[in-house]
Amino acid sequence: LAMRELKDPALAIWAFREAEKRVEAPARKLGYGLFVAGVYRDQLRDAGKTVVELRRLTRLYPDAPGIDRVEAEIDEIKGGMFGGPGG
């Protein structure tokens, strides 16, 4: 709602972080974190904050299914920021 209707990225980030705190299942927590990263990437176009959020998720959920795709996205973003994979 905050993103679609109100166009308020800061509120959306806050809401996703609150939701992440309130759920117990690691997969759901990861999902909310990915929503936060998506707001930084797609709405705010902030590569630095996107990478920070994605790194946080890889540290918290290193064994999550698909975490290798998150790591690949970090490398891709950093490549765009610094001119090559891995910065």
Helix or strand run (H / E) with residue 28: helix 26-38
Judge whether residue 84 has pLDDT over 70.
no
- Whether 39 contacts 16, CB under 8 Å: yes
pTM of the model: 0.84
- Whether 78 contacts 87, CB under 8 Å: yes
Report how far residue 72's alpha carbon sits from residue 78's, in angstroms, rounded to the nearest whole number: 10
Report how far residue 21's alpha carbon sits from residue 25's, in angstroms, rounded to the nearest whole number: 10
Question: What would the pLDDT profile of 45-79 be if each residue is shown by its tens digit?
Answer: 999 999 999 999 999 999 999 999 999 999 999 98
Question: What would the pLDDT profile of 20-36 be if each residue is shown by its tens digit?
Answer: 999 999 999 999 999 99
